[in-house]
């Protein structure tokens, strides 16, 4: 399980349209920084700053070979972010069901 700071960084990284677009592109497989920048309406340095935030969050990792840096997704971090939300939604549904049953019993009694 991710610690608090790691979860902060993950959701903060996802809280930006460009960074979500970069994650989405990387679901199709690894891509170089230039390839990632091509799809974005901003400068290469601006895209690199977004990639830095994604790397710091752990959602993306990269490797430089020669002059080319290639990025890829780290799906485990995405799964952790998904799990936290899913568990809270399920908790809420369970508590709602329990409340419903309680109210039903009240009507019957």
In angstroms, what is the minimal distance from the CB of 78 to a second copy? Answer: 5
- Residue 97 as a binder of a second copy (CB under 8 A): the answer is no
- Residue 29 as a binder of a second copy (CB under 8 A): the answer is yes
Q: Which C-beta is closer to a second copy: that of 16 or that of 68?
A: 16
CA 99-90-101 angle, to 5 degrees, is 20
Backbone φ/ψ region at 66: left (φ over 0), alpha (ψ -120 to 50), beta: left
Q: In this structure, what token pair is assigned to residue 42?
A: 């901003």
- Residue 15 as a binder of a second copy (CB under 8 A): the answer is yes
Which of 34, 46, 93, 101 touches a second copy (CB under 8 A)? 93
- Residue 91 as a binder of a second copy (CB under 8 A): the answer is yes
Rounded CA-CA distance 19/54 in Å is: 7
Rounded CA-CA distance 88/35 in Å is: 37
**Cβ distance 3 to 84 under 8 Å?**
no
Binding site for a second copy (CB under 8 A): 4, 7-12, 14-17, 20, 23-24, 26-29, 73, 75, 78-79, 81-82, 84-86, 88-89, 91-93, 95, 99
């Amino acid at each position: 399980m991710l610690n608090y700071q790691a979860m902060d960084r993950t959701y903060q990284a996802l809280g930006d349209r460009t960074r979500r677009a970069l994650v989405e592109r990387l679901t199709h497989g690894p891509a170089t920084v230039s390839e990632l920048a091509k799809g974005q309406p901003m400068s290469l340095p601006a895209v690199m700053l977004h990639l830095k935030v994604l790397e710091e969050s752990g959602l993306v990792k990269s490797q430089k070979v020669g002059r080319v840096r290639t990025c890829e997704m780290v799906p485990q971090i995405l799964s952790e972010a998904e799990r936290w939300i899913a568990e809270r939604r399920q908790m809420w549904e369970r508590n709602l069901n329990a409340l419903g049953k309680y109210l039903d019993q009240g009507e019957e009694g």
